[in-house]
Structure 1
Amino acid sequence: MSASEKDPLLPSNKDTSIQTRTPPDAVSQLSNSGDASSEQRQPFDISGRRLTRRSSELAQAHLQRLKLYSRLAPANKPNSIIMPAHVLPDSIFVIGLPKGGEQSSYVTILSLWNTMMGTSVLAMPWAISQAGFALGLLCIVIMCGLALYTCQIVLASGQGGRMNGTDVEFIDVCLHYLGKKAYIVAMLFSVLTLVGACMVYWVLMSSFLYTSVDYFHAPGNHTDEGTWGDYWNTSYVPLYLVIIVFPLLNFKSLSFFTRFNSLGIVSIVYILFFVVYAAANGGSYDNSPVGGINFDHQTLFSSNFVSFTGVLALSFFIHNGVLSIMRNQRNPENNARDLNLAYLFVALTYTIVGVIYYLAYKGDKTKINNNFLLDFKKDADNFLFALLADVFLFIQMLTVFPLLMYIVRFQVLTALFNGKEWPGTLHVVVLNLMVTTCCVLIAVFYPSIGTILRYTGAFSGLVYLFALPALTKMEMQRRKGELTVWSKIFHYGLILIGLLNVIGQFLVSS
């Protein structure tokens, strides 16, 4: 008896859609039809592929049965009904990849450390000067502890990045536990955080490019030095940067730039070396802004400490990306430990850079620049060390900026165009142009990375660092019947801390 006689699920004389991979000789791509009805979703028509006539009726029958089984499972348990392997023909099997991650704990910790460090490390000495030496150290400890606790909530609620066998991000976790409104809020503030980071990157890249070119410029090659200064200054360089960066933002795939992620680690290691070296040997260099330990003009406590907590809210921010990093972990049971170690290393790095530079600064501590590399002028004998840091960081940021813009593009366009990452070249170019314009305007008219960091950190921290993790934790406890009054007081208290952090940004005289 033929397969079609045994299997009533096989439709006659119709193309059938499949959800699984088939051999190349049995698959052809769907043609783009202009028929409006073809755009409507038909039953089981979700794969975008169809069997050809070369496929046997037996294979078609089994595939129809496979699709039926896949649709019998309830929506909340999509993997509860799986078709037994022994009823499938060999032709539709493919060689599978290992399901587990291949990322060691060492790589995981480095990835978390590198991702969290970002650009805020350059503003750390300035941020400590805003809080005072003693209060600044206390702020680092408290904010690190709070951020670590809420990040552990994100990690636990997202089950390490996979829920019911499906890869998830924290915005998906918010949708699962808190509903669509929380999902929308999480999406908006994720984009806000990324755009804020793009602005800081543009300001820094403009500064690094200006400093590097200005240093190597030879006035003797130009008849009018005034002309050079008229066109090469901090107001025009952000515009020149568009010529270099904007073409890099409009590629469909940016996998080339991911190869340079290791530059971030190299840059941070060099910054650590540079700060320690400049502090230890700055006294032997003329016009060096740092050297030795200087307690003059030092403040232990300052009422402007909220500036520091705003910066730290962004400095310890990894909550919208921790699940992506952790899901590739080879040993998921080490996730909590690795996250603890990553936060410890980040806090130590901030402390080393911020405290050592703050103590080694020779002048009035309140005069420390919010990008401490700008404290090193061309007439300083150790300026070349700062210039090398500029070059390192410019190259690193030039490769990271397109990745940040890619994430912005992905989140915005998939939300607006029903999951389409690339709805059209025009849409992509317009979005990139809008964000780039904002970055250029900030770099020209308000190039204060400290202020951008603290406002972005305070607002995004309120949502991602405090509110959403706290609400998610309470909802998880409620579903388990474990929610207590003390838990409500504690977690609503976290939200209140985040709210006060936002309000405080408008009250400081920075």
Structure 2
Amino acid sequence: MSFLLNLLPPRALFGGIFNLTNSIMGVSLLAMPLCFYQCGLAFGMFLSLLATFLSLISCKLMLHSSRVSGSKWGKLAVEVCIIGLLLGSCVAFFAIVADILPRFASVWFFPDQSAVALRTPVMSILAVAVVFPLSLMRNVSSLSPLNAISLGFYGCFIVALIYSIASPSEAEQAPEGAPSSELKWFDPSGFLLTLPIFSLAYTCQFGVFAVYAGLPNPNHKAMNTVINYSIFLASFLYSAVGVFGYIAFSHVDIDGDLLNNFPDGVVFFDILKLGFSISIIFSFPITVYPCRAALNTLIFVPNAPASTTPDVLQSAAAPEPVIPGARFFGLTAGIVFSALIVALAIPEVATILSFTGSTTGTSLAYILPASTFLVLVRAADVKPRLRRIAILILVLGVVCCIGSTALVLYSTNPLPVKEVTNSVDIPIEGDTGVKERDVSSSLNRSISSLSLQSFSRLPSVVSLPISSSAEAGLPPKKSLVNKR
């Protein structure tokens, strides 16, 4: 028992760990089972652990660089990336919640109203009454109890998946006469498709300084402890959902939004969906916090120094003291309600979110922390191994950014192919009928729900042009398609 107690962090850091973990976790959790299907259990676990290691080292590099940073151009690059990524994250948050809460309200409170009809009023009330007041908080440490509850819902999510494995419902069972589906262990063909999802699922760099500002005794050692526990806790939750979700739904079409694999109208599963929405809502403040600060310095004080002290973390310890009340209110309102308007007006934001995630997301997660460390930190001040790791992260970040962006651009303007249609006919053995799926619409909605995390909570999904399997001369294979 004493050994287990020694593994726990200091009680004073619990709030920071809960806040940073909740900023890592997000709707990308729903994509993990599909990622494990694409790569297999063993290779999927390897990619998840690789992304964990890269994100952990990236945050450590950022802490090293914060001691000596202050470059004007570096400040501008970080601000632009933060604004682009986090505005896209807020749009994605609203889009995901808009897929859950209106359906919940339609099933339990307004059965005579469709979820589509309830989408605008429900989301407008939510933004005004809940999201906007939460986003006005100047110190996100006050959200730590609520973030702890949100993490509890993730634990319930894992329990629900284990229950689905032990007692599968009719929707989770393979159709009679369908070929058996064995679990895959290693499938490298899904590497390029899932690597951006795994990488951006752990992106939390934009929330590090906000969490640091809320620590009771801010210092580098304490923040390192918070980062270690937060990333490894997120890694455990991501991997558990990926493994159990893949096993539970391996005999059916695994949805890009795993919540759609659970039936509607069942109390336990509807509470689970509601809890997931709540966890996303509580991620708004820690997402708006750095976006608001970046907008303030970019628009109103563009010539301000990157930090008020030689140590950026010491400068971050005072939460946004330079933003006047009226400006603070206006910037917060602009971020929240512009994201709401975009999410309601353009529900199919796949291209925008995918492009944002593959550029600004990768830049914030890997390219900027590694390059800043290599430029600012002298070789004599750190171990050579750390610099080699920074070079590796920089190279991987550049490759991922270029490759993902190229695939996103290609998917929006694919090369001409013969008679490509918007639907795929999927014959099912023993069934004389044909099930038709609208690939263009469902693929876009799947990508928009996975693109960035709260990052994110919402990661970027790279989509590929889809045509009939028969036209391509290949056997049917599951893809990142979100059934709606």
The alignment's TM-score, normalised by the length of structure 1, stands at: 0.62
Structure 1 residue aligned with 2:337: 433
CA distance in 1, matches of 2:190, 2:121: 33
Segments of 5+ residues of structure 2 without an aligned counterpart are 1-9, 175-179, 302-321, 408-462, 465-479
Q: Contact 1:103–1:329 (CA<8 Å) still a contact in 2?
A: no
Change (3 A) 1:121 1:249: closer
Give the drift of 1:417. 1.9
Distance 1:461 1:244 in 2: 27
Change in Cα spacing, 1:338 to 1:368, as seen in structure 2 (3 Å) is same
**CA offsets 1:348-371 (integer angstroms, 9 cap, x no match):** 21111001110221435xx32222
Show the counterpart of 2:58. 150
> What is the match of residue 21 of structure 1?
none
State the shift of 1:209 in Å: 1.0
Is residue 2:379 matched to residue 1:491?
no
- Give yes or no for the alignment of 1:245 onto 2:127: yes
Q: Note if contact 1:311-1:458 (Cα within 8 Å) is conserved in structure 2.
A: no
The residue number in structure 2 matching 1:266 is: 152
Q: Which amino acid aligns with 1:117?
A: M
Whole-Å separation in 2 of the counterparts to 1:402 and 1:333: 25
User: Which of residues 348, 352, 367 is equivalent to 1:467?
Assistant: 367
Counterpart in 2 of 1:213? 105
Give the letter for the 1:199 counterpart.
Answer: V
Say whether the 8 Å CA contact 1:125–1:372 is kept in structure 2: yes
State the 1:134 CA deviation: 3.2
- Cα deviation, residue 276, structure 1: 1.9
What residue number does 1:85 align with? none
1:253-292 alignment to 2 at 5 Å?
253-254=136-137, 258=143, 260-282=146-168, 285-288=169-172
Tell me: CA distance 1:357–1:155, structure 2 relative to 1, closer, same or farther (3 Å): same
* Mapped pair 1:313 → 2:217: no
- The 1:407/1:465 distance shift into structure 2, 3 A limit, reads closer
Distance in 2 separating the partners of 1:305 and 1:456 = 20
Q: Distance in 1 between matches of 2:63 and 2:387?
A: 20
| 1:345 equivalent in structure 2 | 233
Residue identity opposite 1:207 in structure 2: D
Deviation at 1:143, TM superposition (A): 1.4
SS for the counterpart of 1:287 is: helix
Offset, 1:247: 5.2
Written as runs of structure 1 = structure 2, the 5 A alignment for 1:386-401 is: 386-401=269-284
Offset, 1:470: 1.6
Distance 1:428 1:287, change over 3 A: closer
Matched with 1:377 is: 263
Instruction: Identify which of 135, 141, 147 aligns with 2:43.
Output: 135
Counterpart residue identity of residue 167, structure 2:
N
- Partners of 1:141 and 1:428 lie apart in 2 by 35
Amino acid at match of 2:397: G
Give matches, 1:24-423, under 5 Å.
104-158=12-66, 174-175=69-70, 179-216=71-108, 228-229=113-114, 232-233=115-116, 237-238=119-120, 240-246=122-128, 248=130, 253-254=136-137, 258=143, 260-282=146-168, 285-288=169-172, 295-296=181-182, 298=184, 300-326=186-212, 328=215, 333=221, 335-364=223-252, 367-378=253-264, 383-401=266-284, 404-418=287-301, 420-423=323-326
Residues 409 and 421 (structure 1 numbering): CA distance in 2 closer, same or farther, change over 3 Å?
farther
Question: Matches of 1:482 and 1:123 in 2, distance apart?
Answer: 37
Tell me which moved more, 271-280 or 397-406: 397-406
| CA 1:186–1:332: 2 relative to 1, 3 Å | closer
Relative distance call for 1:288 and 1:304 in structure 2 (3 A) is: closer
Distance (Å, rounded) in 1 between the aligned partners of 2:362 and 2:159: 34
Report the equivalent of 1:39: none
SS in 2 for 1:237: helix
Mark the CA change 1:498 to 1:216 in structure 2 (over 3 Å): closer, same or farther.
same
Does the residue aligned with 1:320 lie in a helix, a strand or coil?
helix
Root-mean-square deviation (CA, aligned residues, Å) is 3.6
Superimposed CA distance per residue, residues 431-482 of structure 1 (whole angstroms, 9 cap, x where no aligned partner): 543332222234x224x6xx88765543344322222222232234437477
Q: Which moved more, 1:209-218 or 1:195-204?
A: 209-218
> Residues 117-164 of structure 1: CA distance to partner in whole angstroms, max 9, x if unpaired?
233212211232333433322211211111111211222333xxxx5x
Does the 8 A contact of 2:65 with 2:377 survive in 1? no
Residue 212 (structure 1) shift: 0.9
Q: Which amino acid aligns with 1:211?
A: R
Q: Tell me the CA shift for residue 416 of structure 1.
A: 1.1
Distance 1:437 1:406, change over 3 A: farther
- CA–CA distance in 1 between the matches of 2:54 and 2:257? 26
Query: Match of 1:317, SS?
Result: coil
Contact 2:17 2:226 in 1 (8 A): yes
Q: What is the rounded CA distance, in whole Å, between the counterparts of 2:227 and 2:289 in structure 1?
A: 26
- Partner Cα separation in structure 2 for residue 307 and residue 238 of structure 1: 33
Measured against aligned partners, the alpha-carbon deviations of 1:407-437 in whole angstroms (never above 9, x if no partner) come to 4334313431235454556665445433322
Identity %: 19
Q: Is the 8 A contact 2:76 2:298 kept in 1?
A: no
Deviation readout 1:377-416 (Å, 9 max, x if unpaired):
338xxx4322111122233333443553354334313431
With structure 2 as the length reference, what TM-score do the two structures score? 0.65
Q: Deviations over 1:270-324 (max 9, x none)?
A: 2122222222222xx333469xxx8537473153423322122222112222244
1:445 and 2:352 aligned: no
Q: Aligned in 2, Cα 1:191/1:298: closer, same or farther, shift over 3 Å? A: same
Paired letter, 2:149: L
Does the 8 A contact of 1:310 with 1:453 survive in 2? no
Secondary structure at the aligned position of 1:139 is classed as helix
State how many pairs are aligned.
Answer: 369
